[in-house]
Amino acid sequence: MRVTLTVNGSQRTADDVWEGESLLFVLRERLALPGSKNACEQGECGSCTVLLDDVPVCACLVAAGQAAHRRVVTVEGLAPRGELGPVQQAFLEAGAVQCGFCTPGLIVQVHDLLRRTAGAGLPPPGDADIREALAGNLCRCTGYEKILDAVRLAASRLPVMP
Amino acid sequence: MNRVEARDKVTGRARYAYEYPAHGVAYAYPVQAPVASGVVRSVDASAALAMPGVLAVLSCTDPPEIGSGDDPELAILQTTQVVYRGQLVAAVVASTLENARAAGRAVRVDCVARQHDVRLRADHPGLYTPEKVNPNFPAVTEYGDIAAGLAAAAARVDTTYTTPVEHNNPIEPHAALAVWDPGGGLTVFDSTQGPSADRDTIAKVLGLAPDRVRVVSPHVGGGFGSKGTTRPHAILAAIAARAAGRPVKVALTRQQMFELTGYRTPTIQRLQLGADARGRLTAVVHDVVEQTAIRTEFAEQAAVCTRAMYASPAMRTTHRLARLNVPPPSWMRAPGECPGMYALESAMDELAEAAGIDPVEFRIMNEPRTEPDSGLPFSSRNLVGCLREGARRFGWADRDPRPGIRREGRWLAGTGVAASTYPARRRPSRATAEASGDGFIVRIAAADIGTGARTALTRIAAETLGAPAARVRVEMGDSALPQASLAGGSMGTASWGSAVVKACEALLKNGSSGSADTAEDVRADAAFARHAFGAQFAEVLVDSATGEVRVPRLLGVFAAGRIVDETLARSQFIGGMTMGLGMALMERTGVDEWEGAFTGKDLAQYHVATCADIQDVDAVWIEEDDPHLNPVGAKGIGEIGITGTAAAIGNAVYHATGRRVRDLPITPARLLR
Ligand code: FES
Ligand code: FES
């Protein structure tokens, strides 16, 4: 089947998509966007997190057909003109990146968390909220402390988020 | 200084092995043995070959040509004898990953099953003492009069601890892309901790000269030992690419990783310790039982750490292995020290309590002057400093030692301490440095698997050259660069840093370029016992109704030589401690004895610590100026963080509840039993 969707602001089309294919597969294998990672393929690690119509989802659990005619934003879309988004900048400065394999999913997840909280004029999320919001994004390297630092740093620099 | 490659990683631009594009690429999918012991009678590929896009089916009934069968794990598809469930017995090559996977499921493997044995037990009839334990230690050591020491002791413990099968589970699954060039040369983009060694191994297995093989691995999504040796997927990619006449990618699934990429052996460890009335150890016995595989021996050095820890007039350490129908165990973060320190430091806590001595003081009382087993002087040793600093920061002084008496509603509270240790070694490496434009390029076939090696080496080079880090570029992650040791054994910074310092110094002498080989220097290293040490303090809350354990505080104090980069170091220590917390409370791969299989082979069932499992983890360090190490002065920080954590948490759980759980992980079921 043919799947047409908007990815990072541009309309994209993938042909010959098999019905069982995941959105993650289409992004990585067909649309040359390997930023979203594949680390479990069954919704357990969060490495593949993308925004689907502004809602964070595990792209490995979304059938490609379900994403047809919808808007997808991946980590690549958060720094479109080579300029880092606020979450990316905070991850970089806080040292929240080690091997980097969990990073794209976390960046998207944190982007969503901050847009819903500090970015929406609400108080920044507390540590417990952050830990809960990121509990589905596994990181085997950092022990999460620097990731928390990064979220706090990004939150402190808001409010304006797209 | 920010991590050099952080920008590429936060934007999704960093490429990992699987993600390199290749024209006309095909995909190979492994087919694994459905029995734990037996013989493959036939592999019926007819259905698979009729499926869309299928290019070839490789099978152990028609062995592909290889060059060397020395390593049975890498001599893939060479035998129809199956010695563990999940062994590679066939593979499908197809035009897309999905086609390959679908066809892989359609390959029918007919096996004659034999009786298998996957159960490790202390009285296993096949237990034997290996010649050596990793990397090259005697399996058995003994000095002094053990019996007399134990008999004379005023306080004694004789306890057995077990640790389960644990899997490294780096977040990046193992993957490789193999590309043959028309001249017969091979390039492998591989998820590896050591491009030089990986190249040599791949070349040997395939019967190629090493200079015909190139391994490229600029970014690796974690390894924790599982990418420290060449794994079957890389050989499969190369063989499949040869068969298909196209580049081939192999990406293991999370499930396949459980059998094909190594794991930590389960251990059964008996500790017998005695102490006199003043709290001095009178005897230390550490007997370890572990498993290994039928065709490959892997002898984890779990009791070796005990040889370096505490002064005792008598000591025995032993290792015995059982060969089982299991995939070969392999390196997982701090192999040896990690399970060994769990047992030793749990027993030390039990003995401290039996002797009526504070566990921090008890360890300090038994501080040795020289390395107990070898008699060698320590290059530096600051375990006592770590214990005292940790006790001060943690607020240990007010601790009431009585277990099970602090209740906050449903929650029982407790604290625990344990020591950490990891050897400080280095290996020969080469590097070059070159002035280029207004900056410098340093080249070394090191690997950055997330440790921050690229950043640390950039700093080290910049410091040596007296140049700002922004003007230094370090090229690594490619076997075409000067040969380097692998990222393992916490030796990266020491080994590669030594070569980089030397190459940069040579450049400074002649102004334009320098090269270095540290083989001679490493050989000439004087005889010292070189170890990093640390102390970990844990506070736990145990839900008395459900048995849930929370860890509100975890503090590590480490003495690991010079710390090259504070941010990188904290993250490495804390990452290790967090993995140690996972080991204490949740990490375990099930073993189905009937089926001869690992169970729970995914991240839904193999639990690693998530963000919400952690509360306050902190790591600090005592700076050491140790002239006997290497030009960088570093001891290595990648592994020590995971050593001792599980004991500190287990000791705290005892302090909270009065219950000693001596089998990891400490689950609610075990606490409530
Ligand atoms: S790859 Fe989608 S959650 Fe792990
Ligand atoms: S940085 Fe490696 S998994 Fe998170």
CA distances (Å), A117 to each of A112, B157, B507, B571, in order?
A: 9, 54, 53, 27
Rounded to an integer, the average pLDDT of B297-309 is 98
- Tell whether ligand 1 has an atom less than 6 A from the beta carbon of residue A84: no
In percent, how much of chain A has pLDDT > 70? 98
Assign domain A86-156 to a CATH class.
Answer: mainly alpha
Closest partner residue to A142 among B5, B6, B571, by Cβ? B571
The minimum-distance atom of ligand 2 relative to the CA of A141 is: 2
Q: A131, B452: Cβ pair inside 8 Å? A: no
Rounded to an integer, the average pLDDT of B243-253 is 97
Mean pLDDT over the full length of chain B: 97
Which residues of chain B lie closer than 8 angstroms to A137, CB-CB? 610-611
Q: Name the token pair of A54.
A: 């502004």
Ligand number nearest CA of B611 is: 2
Say yes or no to pLDDT of B632 above 70. Answer: yes
Element of type H or E holding A93: helix A86-94
Give A55: exposed, middle or buried? Use CB within 10 Å, 0-12, 13-18, 19+: exposed
Ligand number nearest CA of A22 is: 1
Q: A143, B21: Cβ pair inside 8 Å? A: no
Q: Distance (Å) from the C-alpha of residue A122 to the closest C-alpha of chain B?
A: 22
Say yes or no to pLDDT of A82 above 90. Answer: no
CA distances (Å), A32 to each of A27, A28, A107, B488, B504, in order?
A: 6, 5, 19, 33, 39
Query: What's the pTM?
Result: 0.97
Pairing of strands A71-73, A3-7: parallel
Query: Which pLDDT does position A120 carry in this prediction?
Result: 85
Rounded to an integer, the average pLDDT of B349-360 is 98
Distance, in Å, from the CA atom of B89 to the CA atom of B259, rounded to the nearest integer, reads 13
Question: How would residue B526 be classed by pLDDT, with cut points 50, 70 and 90?
Answer: confident
Distance, in Å, from the CA atom of B567 to the CA atom of B565, rounded to the nearest integer, reads 6
Distance, in Å, from the CA atom of B656 to the CA atom of B552, rounded to the nearest integer, reads 13
Chain B residue with the nearest C-alpha to that of A19: B98
Question: Which B residues 13-42 touch A at CB under 8 Å?
Answer: 13-16, 18-19, 21
Backbone angles phi, psi at B10, to 5 degrees: -75, -15
Query: Which pLDDT does position A81 carry in this prediction?
Result: 80
Which residues of chain B lie closer than 8 angstroms to A32, CB-CB? 21
Strand partners, B315: B143, B284
- Tell whether ligand 1 has an atom less than 6 A from the beta carbon of residue A138: no
- Tell whether ligand 1 has an atom less than 6 A from the beta carbon of residue A60: yes
Catalytic residue list of B:
639
CA distances (Å), B584 to each of B111, B460, B522, B548, B549, in order?
A: 39, 35, 36, 12, 10
Ligand number nearest CA of A101 is: 2
CATH-assigned architecture of domain A3-78:
Roll (3.10)
Angle between helices B337-355 and B566-585 (to 10 degrees): 70
In percent, how much of chain B has pLDDT > 90? 98
Question: How would residue A158 be classed by pLDDT, with cut points 50, 70 and 90?
Answer: confident
In percent, how much of chain A has pLDDT > 90? 88
Please give the distance, rounded to the nearest whole angstrom, from the Cα atom of residue A34 to the centre of ligand 1: 13
Which residues of chain A lie closer than 8 angstroms to B579, CB-CB? 140, 143
Q: A143, B11: Cβ pair inside 8 Å? A: no
The minimum-distance atom of ligand 1 relative to the CA of A60 is: 2
Choose the residue to mutate in A40, A48, A99, A137 for probing ligand 2, maximizing ligand atoms within 8 Å of C-beta. Answer: A99
N- to C-terminal Cα separation, chain B:
50
The minimum-distance atom of ligand 1 relative to the CA of B603 is: 4
- Tell whether ligand 2 has an atom less than 6 A from the beta carbon of residue A122: no
Question: How would residue B39 be classed by pLDDT, with cut points 50, 70 and 90?
Answer: very high
Closest partner residue to B171 among A35, A97, A102, by Cβ? A102
Say yes or no to pLDDT of B462 above 90. Answer: yes
User: Left if phi > 0, otherwise alpha if psi is -120 to 50, otherwise beta: which for B532?
Assistant: beta
- Tell whether ligand 2 has an atom less than 6 A from the beta carbon of residue A139: yes
CB pairs under 8 A between A and B: 179
In percent, how much of chain B has pLDDT > 70? 100
Q: Distance (Å) from the C-alpha of residue B190 to the closest C-alpha of chain A?
A: 15
Choose the residue to mutate in A91, A137, A142, A144 for probing ligand 2, maximizing ligand atoms within 8 Å of C-beta. Answer: A142
CB atoms within 10 A of CB B268: 23
Which residues of chain A lie closer than 8 angstroms to B3, CB-CB? 92, 95, 97
Site of tokens 């309309």: A11
Q: How many residues does chain A have?
A: 162
- Find the range with the poorest average confidence among A76-90, B177-191, B570-584: A76-90
- The predicted-structure confidence for B254-292, as pLDDT tens digits, reads as follows 999 999 999 999 999 999 999 999 999 999 999 999 999
Distance, in Å, from the CA atom of B331 to the CA atom of B128, rounded to the nearest integer, reads 21
Name residue A146's amino acid. Answer: K
Backbone angles phi, psi at A129, to 5 degrees: -65, -40
Query: Which pLDDT does position A159 carry in this prediction?
Result: 63
What is the residue-wise DSSP string for B282-331? Answer: EEEEEEEEEEEESS------TTTTHHHH---S-EEEEEEEEEESSPPP--
Which residues of chain B lie closer than 8 angstroms to A49, CB-CB? none
Please give the distance, rounded to the nearest whole angstrom, from the Cα atom of residue A148 to the centre of ligand 1: 21
Q: Do the two domains A3-78 and A86-156 of this chain adopt the same fold? A: no
Please give the distance, rounded to the nearest whole angstrom, from the Cα atom of residue B401 to the centre of ligand 2: 38
What is the residue-wise DSSP string for B586-645? Answer: T--BEEETTTTEEE--STTTS----GGG--EEEEEE-----TTS-TT-B---TTGGGSSH
Residue nearest to atom 2 of ligand 2 (CA): A99
Q: Distance (Å) from the C-alpha of residue B658 to the closest C-alpha of chain A?
A: 29
ipTM for the predicted complex comes to 0.97
- Tell whether ligand 1 has an atom less than 6 A from the beta carbon of residue A132: no
Q: Distance (Å) from the C-alpha of residue B396 to the closest C-alpha of chain A?
A: 23
Q: Name the token pair of B174.
A: 């193992």
- Tell whether ligand 2 has an atom less than 6 A from the beta carbon of residue A138: no
The minimum-distance atom of ligand 1 relative to the CA of A45 is: 4
Rounded to an integer, the average pLDDT of B542-561 is 97
Distance, in Å, from the CA atom of B363 to the CA atom of B8, rounded to the nearest integer, reads 45
Which residues of chain A lie closer than 8 angstroms to B618, CB-CB? 145
Question: Which B residues 588-607 touch A at CB under 8 Å?
Answer: 602-604
Angle between helices A103-116 and A145-156 (to 10 degrees): 40
Q: A107, B10: Cβ pair inside 8 Å? A: yes
Interface test with B, best of A18, A144, A148 (most B CBs within 10 A): A144
Backbone angles phi, psi at B422, to 5 degrees: -155, 140
CA distances (Å), B644 to each of B349, B384, B471, B533, B651, in order?
A: 12, 15, 40, 10, 10
Chain B residue with the nearest C-alpha to that of A146: B571
Say yes or no to pLDDT of B226 above 80. Answer: yes
Name residue B110's amino acid. Answer: D
**Domain boundaries of chain A, sorted by first residue:** 3-78, 86-156
Please give the distance, rounded to the nearest whole angstrom, from the Cα atom of residue B95 to the centre of ligand 2: 31
Q: Name the token pair of B273.
A: 């310790």
Query: Which pLDDT does position A160 carry in this prediction?
Result: 52
Pairing of strands B248-251, B26-32: parallel
Give B175: exposed, middle or buried? Use CB within 10 Å, 0-12, 13-18, 19+: buried
Give yes or no for a contact between B480 and B214, defined as CB atoms under 8 angstroms apart: yes
Say yes or no to pLDDT of A9 above 70. Answer: yes
Distance, in Å, from the CA atom of A1 to the CA atom of A43, rounded to the nearest integer, reads 24
Q: Name the token pair of B549.
A: 């354990």
Chain A residue with the nearest C-alpha to that of B617: A145
Whether chain A has a CB inside 8 Å of the CB on B220: the answer is: yes
Rounded to an integer, the average pLDDT of A7-15 is 97
Q: A29, B97: Cβ pair inside 8 Å? A: yes
Catalogue all structural domains in chain B, each as residue range(s) with its CATH number.
Answer: 17-115+169-260 (3.30.365.10), 132-166+264-424+528-672 (3.30.365.10), 430-523 (3.30.365.10)
Rounded to an integer, the average pLDDT of B404-411 is 95
Rounded to an integer, the average pLDDT of B444-472 is 96
Which residues of chain A lie closer than 8 angstroms to B21, CB-CB? 32
- The predicted-structure confidence for B509-525, as pLDDT tens digits, reads as follows 999 999 999 999 999 98
Q: A143, B98: Cβ pair inside 8 Å? A: no
